[in-house]
Amino acid sequence: MSVLVSSETRVVFQGMTGTQGTFFADQAMAYGTRVVAGVTPGRGGTRHLHLPMYDRVADAVEATGADACAVFVPPANAADAIIEAVLARVPLVVCVTEGVPVLDMVRVRRVLEGSATCLLGPNTPGIIVPGQCKIGVMPGHIHTPGRIGIVSRASTLTYEVAAQTTAAGLGQSTVIGIGADPVHGLGFVDCLELLLADDRTEGVVLVGEIGGQEEEQAAQYLSRVSPSKPVIGVIAGISAPPGRRMGHAGAIIAGGIGDATSKLSALRDAGVILAESPARVAATMAAAL
């Protein structure tokens, strides 16, 4: 099994004719992902990267049977691009775009309610099932098929954990970046439900960071379900100076909620095994298994 995507997933790229869309669509195809089309208004009927281009997502879905959409569209237009994919009933939308206005994402969340679409992002590195499908900006070469699921808010630390689990011979079943923005699609709880139910996943790494309440919500969920699989946790930003403005829009600490101490305490109380440092995640997982 795999989570959300597989070797059969058919992907359409919104904004594929842009510099970033071109580069990462080409990288996805080189990895083996089944990219079937691109969408750029005004470019319908042409070809790019030897693939057909369409003016609308709905047209691309109808022609190719695409069931996933990668959004490489500038921030001002990203919400409209996501909504277009939702209205086209694309099962999975991965929005890599950083800097999408919060009010735009509030509008997206309203459209998502009751829809058939799962959204990852915005501001996500994407999702990868090693050896099968890569949607986003994750470097494919550090991943290898295996048994550890990774779900993360911190993009670069995701790559560190993936590289560690590869080096340790554990590999990854599915790696998911949920994005670091305050208003986004799938969260930790959604992804934990998927990974804990996946037969191929034998252990889960949760990579959190300061700000927001995602980790605390994950802790509440894990306390309720008491998973039989080990869950390893690590929080980025433990040494961040109090009151310092951080780079991620989601890294907001307010009202005594969202700091590293509260997150670590909540996860520990929920039975999560905390790695001593980001460099010890794979070793901690290997010991737990």
* Chain segment 186-224, per-residue pLDDT in tens: 999 999 999 999 999 999 999 998 888 899 999 999 999
Count CB atoms within 10 A of the CB of residue 191.
25
Please report the pLDDT score of residue 135 as a whole number.
Answer: 98
Average pLDDT over residues 83-106: 97
Does residue 2 belong to any structural domain of this protein? no
- Catalytically active residues are 248
Residue 253, pLDDT > 60, answer: no
Q: Assign residue 115 the CATH number of its domain.
A: 3.40.50.720
Tell me if 131 is assigned to some domain.
no
Whether 136 contacts 177, CB under 8 Å: yes
pLDDT confidence of residue 242: 67
Identify whether residues 33 and 103 lie together within a single domain: yes
Nearest to 11 by CA among 1, 27, 19: 27
Residue 278 is assigned to a structural domain of this protein: yes
Q: Per the domain annotation, does 91 fall within a domain?
A: yes
Q: Using pLDDT thresholds of 50, 70 and 90, give the confidence band for residue 154.
A: confident
162 plus 197 within the same structural domain: yes
Q: Do 64 and 153 belong to one domain?
A: no
124, pLDDT greater than 80: yes
Q: How far is CA 272 from CA 69, 166, 207, in A?
A: 33, 22, 12
Say how many domains are in the chain.
2
Q: Is 238 a domain residue?
A: yes
Map tokens 């970046």 to a residue: 177
Q: What pLDDT does 262 receive?
A: 86
In a domain, residue 273? The reply is: yes
94 and 185 assigned to the same domain: no
Of 37-41, 85-89, 180-184, where does mean pLDDT reach its minimum?
A: 180-184
Predicted confidence at residue 239, as pLDDT, reads: 72
Q: What is the pLDDT of residue 238?
A: 76
Last-in-domain residue among 120, 148, 183: 120
**Domain span at residue 114?**
10-120
Mean pLDDT throughout 7-13? 98
How much is the pLDDT for 232? Answer: 98
pLDDT of residue 260: 81
Segment among 16-20, 36-40, 249-253 with least mean pLDDT: 249-253
CB-CB neighbours of 50 under 10 Å: 6
Element (H, E) at 19: helix 19-31
Q: How far apart are alpha carbons 193 and 190 in whole angstroms?
A: 5
How many other C-beta atoms are found inside a 10 Å radius of the C-beta of residue 150?
A: 29
Distance CA 15, CA 54 (A): 11
Residues 112 and 158 in one domain: no
150 and 281 fall within a common domain: yes
DSSP 229-270: S-EEEEEETTTPPTTPPPSSTT---BTTBSSHHHHHHHHHHT
Confidence of residue 1 (pLDDT cuts 50, 70, 90): low
Residue 43 above 60 pLDDT? Answer: yes
Q: Looking at residues 145-169, what average pLDDT do you find?
A: 96
Same domain, 148 and 265: yes
